[in-house]
Amino acid sequence: CNFSLVVWNLRGLNNPGRRSSIRLFLQSFNPSLVCVQESKVQDVDAAVISQTFGSSLDGFDFLPADGTQGGIILAWKSAFFQVSVRHKGEFSISADVVSLADAKSWTVTSVYGPHDLAGKERFLQELVDIGASILGPWLLNGDFNFVCDVADKSNVRVNRRMMSKFRHSINSLALLDMPLQGRTF
């Protein structure tokens, strides 16, 4: 099954003009599945999805923003995938995905990690708990608000203890960290 996936921290969908710009940008990728973080919206309906992603991404689910922070949206082409949301956590949304072309299945989890220290501890536990429930292929994506390496940081302010805990969580879940491309965090 070949498909196109877009993962993007949008930093807000409240402006209709921004939704239109995002839709025009995404047209060049023709994505089959979109995972966006930091939507900053508490309610998402079919009109918001169509305005933002176009009409071909006709399936969706979301984790609402907490006030003006966070918010995650999964949107997909129902002609390509059967999607069943399996878990909505404090920082993530997970769904089981089945390709209609070849019946291959996998799980996708999209995350938006917190900035505060107490939240980071809960976030890492949420990842470990989700990982323990996944039996097949798993795509974990999003904005973790963590770094695995000091070189990924744009400044010298690094909480090495939390960086180590994040790295340990990734290793315990047998995940691969895809290197950051283009800019630092």
State pLDDT tens for residues 38-70: 999 999 999 999 999 999 999 999 999 998 899
Of 126 and 17, the structure prediction assigns the larger pLDDT to 126
What's the pTM value of the predicted model, to 2 decimals?
A: 0.91
Q: For the chain, what is the radius of gyration of the CA atoms?
A: 16
Note the helical H segments in the chain. 16-27, 46-53, 117-133, 160-172
Strand 72-76 to strand 105-112: parallel, antiparallel, or no bridges (unpaired)? Answer: unpaired
Range 89-115 average pLDDT? 97
Whether residue 183 is predicted with pLDDT greater than 60 in this model: the reply is: no
C-alpha 38, offset from chain centre: 9
Q: Provide the pLDDT for residue 135.
A: 93
The token pair that represents 98 in the structure block: 């089945």
- Maximum Cα–Cα distance for the chain, whole Å? 47
| Residue where the block lists tokens 């315990």 | 172
Give the residue-averaged pLDDT of 78-86.
97
How far is 92 from 174, CA to CA, in rounded Å? 19
Residue in 118, 110, 137, 129 with CA at minimum distance from that of residue 172: 129
Domains annotated for the chain, with CATH where assigned, are 5-145 (3.60.10.10)
How confident is the model at residue 185, as a pLDDT? 46
Among the residue ranges 1-5, 59-63, 106-110, 149-153, the one predicted with the least confidence is: 149-153
Instruction: Give strand pairing partners of 141.
Output: 110
CA atoms within 13 A on the CB side of 145: 19
Containing 34, the helix (H) or strand (E) segment is strand 33-37
**96, 87 contact by CB (below 8 A):** no
Specify the pLDDT at position 180.
58
Tell me which of 14 and 138 has the higher pLDDT.
138
Q: Tell me the pLDDT of the chain averaged across its residues.
A: 91
Q: How far apart are CA 96 and CA 109, in angstroms?
A: 9
Angle, alpha carbons 91-17-83 (nearest 5°): 40
